[in-house]
Structure 1
Amino acid sequence: MAITKADFIEGMAKGMAVLESFDTERQRLNATLAAQRAGITRAAARRHLLTLAHLGYLETDGSHFWLSPKVLRFSGSYLASARLPRVLQPTLNRLAAQAQGSFSVVVLDDSEVVIVARSVALQETDVLGTSLGAPQRPAAMARVLAYGLHLGARLPAHATSTGRVLLAAMDRAALSAWMKGRVLYRLTPYTLTDPKALRAVLTQVRAQDHCLAHEEHELGVHALAVPLRNAQGQTVAALNVVTSAARLSPAAVRDHWLPLMHDAALEVRALL
């Protein structure tokens, strides 16, 4: 959303930049590091850190700062009031019960995707309903999934099935703006980091209307995603399933997962 300069509160923008400086890579910051990450002076970063700590959004030992539980008020309020998670949760629950997999709904936020709804099945079965070996304990089952797959989790768009589905939905100008000067970080030996190669993959995703990603975000994690479109045909989110490689064989994807997920996408289209 564009606003006039007179309506723009620069101090608030800087404070939010400092708050957004904290992530999984840098969980504890001092004034110098926060300044570097937020693109402001050290003195300004220090004042913002102290103010955020005074307001309860940060905790500190006097030198370093880290996020406090109070920041969860934002995500909690969004998840409680946003329409998208509420209308999709019943569908996710049904898919998880029907297919015994972990399903998520994800939206794009700049270079990352954010999980806004999810449902997990504790035991996986193959597409015919037979057990994939001995029954797994929940702890063992959880390792098939990516670490940190929780509501509000942020994942790199270029290395995830959902991110690629959402990027593929962009028009040429928007995608070029997104790609311009962007560094595609390597997360595993299989992560695609070449911009031209990513563009080629996005062209394929656009044509086939789904995306498979194998171990690009995290080793051992395999995912399939399809777009979720509203009644006007606009892609507003992506639906994915995270499961084992054995369950995402070409035949299983073609005969089981894609019909299941495309039917679900069609089912919720009028609600989006």
Structure 2
Amino acid sequence: MNKADWIEGMARGMAVLESFDTERQRLNATLTAQRTGLTRAAARRHLLTLAELNYLETDGQYFWLSAKVLGFAGSYLSSARLPRAVQPTLHQLSLATQLSCSVAVLQNDAVIIVARGIWQGCDLPAKTSHSVLAYGLHVGTRLPAHATSTGQVLLANLQAAPLKAWLEANPLSRLTARTATQAKDLKQKLKQVAKQDYCLALEEHELGVDALAVPLRNERGDMVAALNLVRSGAGPNAPDLVTRWLALLQQTAQALRPLI
């Protein structure tokens, strides 16, 4: 992009909007400045402007996203090919496995869920169920790529140079005791993921939550997204996800190739 075409104010405003997520739903100027790298004064001006445009609501101190931002999400979901193509299959997959499933794409340091199949019949312990819902496993959720099965599948399929740049640009925060927080440890796992062409993540993002993911490729063989199954609240005698569901997950990914 030509530097003369870059609009710094717009980029900063979008960064402020993106600083809101399921873990930080309400922000003040100080927290926004920390999350965006802006000064507190600049963050405050951007928050007030976005509130004046009705993209944020406020109580005078804290700010949160308004319903107006749903217009963008609704437009994307109604027009983008990927969510529309995979959604019927995700419903079938959830029914077959009695597990929830997702399709996610990589964006900067996170994966974004673009489609979900939710198994309504699961009976989760109260603590686990609340925790899963708190992380907002729904369409539009951003999750840290390094700690999720879909993120690791997507990172494992990057070329060496983009992966090196990604690792240098993004800190690996610890979410559980099983989260890889050192680049060398994550790279070692990503090599294994690339070799076997699937990822099993056991409590790396959240305690009590395991996930199995495979890449979604189009007919040219280009990776478009990642598909996973998520199991919550499994006991020590629960069947192994790979043994039980990998073949079906791979078959589902193969069936989606002509559609994406």
TM-score for both structures, normalised by structure 2: 0.90
1:194 matched to 2:192: no
- How far apart, in 1, do the equivalents of 2:160 and 2:130 lie? 35
Q: 2:259 — aligned with what?
A: 271
Partner of 1:74: 72
Amino acid at match of 1:205: V
Aligned residue for 1:199, secondary structure, equals: helix
Q: Is 1:253 matched with 2:239?
A: no
Q: Structure 1 residues 109, 68: closer, same or farther in 2, change over 3 A?
A: same
- Give yes or no for contact 1:165–1:225 (8 Å, CA) kept in 2: yes
Q: Which amino acid aligns with 2:242?
A: V
Instruction: List runs of 5+ in structure 1 lacking aligned partners.
Output: 125-135
Aligned counterpart for 1:229 among listed residues 207, 210, 217: 217
Deviation track 1:103-133 (CA, whole Å, cap 9, x = no partner) reads 1111111111111101112235xxxxxxxxx
Could you tell me how far 1:76 is from its partner in structure 2? 1.9
How far 1:72 moved relative to its partner?
1.9
| Distance of aligned partners of 1:24 and 1:123 in 2 relative to their CA distance in 1, 3 Å threshold | closer
Instruction: Using the TM superposition, name which of 202-211 and 40-49 deviates more.
Output: 40-49
What residue identity is the alignment partner of 1:198? L
Instruction: From the superposition, tell whether residues 102 and 33 of structure 1 become closer, same or farther in structure 2 (CA, over 3 Å).
Output: closer
The equivalent residue for 1:157 is 145
Aligned residue in 1 for 2:41: 43
Counterpart of 2:4? 6
Q: Paired residue for 1:132?
A: none
Q: Report the Cα distance in structure 1 between the residues aligned to 2:36 and 2:176, rounded to whole angstroms.
A: 27
Q: What is the identity, as a one-letter code, of the residue corresponding to 1:121? A: W
How far residue 177 of structure 1 moved from its aligned partner, in angstroms, is 0.6
Please give the root-mean-square deviation of Cα atoms over the aligned residues, in Å: 2.2
TM-superposed CA distance for 1:7, in Å, is 1.5
CA distance in 1, matches of 2:177, 2:128: 22
**CA deviation string 1:28-76 (max 9, x = no partner):** 3333332333223333322221111111011122233222122222222
Correspondence for 1:106: 104
Contact 1:145 / 1:221 at 8 angstroms: preserved in 2?
no
1:145–1:19 CA distance, 2 compared to 1 (3 A) = closer
Q: In structure 2, which of residues 209, 227, 243 is the aligned counterpart of residue 239 of structure 1?
A: 227
SS at match of 2:119: coil
Whole-angstrom distance in 2 between the partners of 1:96 and 1:142: 19
Query: Would you say the 8 A contact 1:102–1:120 is kept in 2?
Result: yes
Distance, in Å, in 1 between the alignment partners of 2:172 and 2:238 is 28
> 2:196 corresponds to which residue?
208
Change beyond 3 A, Cα 1:84–1:248:
farther
Q: Distance in 2 between matches of 1:142 and 1:267?
A: 32
What is the match of residue 56 of structure 2? 58
Q: What is the alpha-carbon distance in structure 1 between the residues aligned to residue 71 and residue 182 of structure 2?
A: 38
Give identity over the alignment, percent.
60
Quote the residue 2:92 is aligned against.
Answer: 94
Equivalent in the alignment of 2:206: 218
Question: How many aligned positions are there?
Answer: 255
Provide closer, same or farther for how the CA distance between residues 103 and 264 of structure 1 changes in structure 2, counting only shifts above 3 A: same
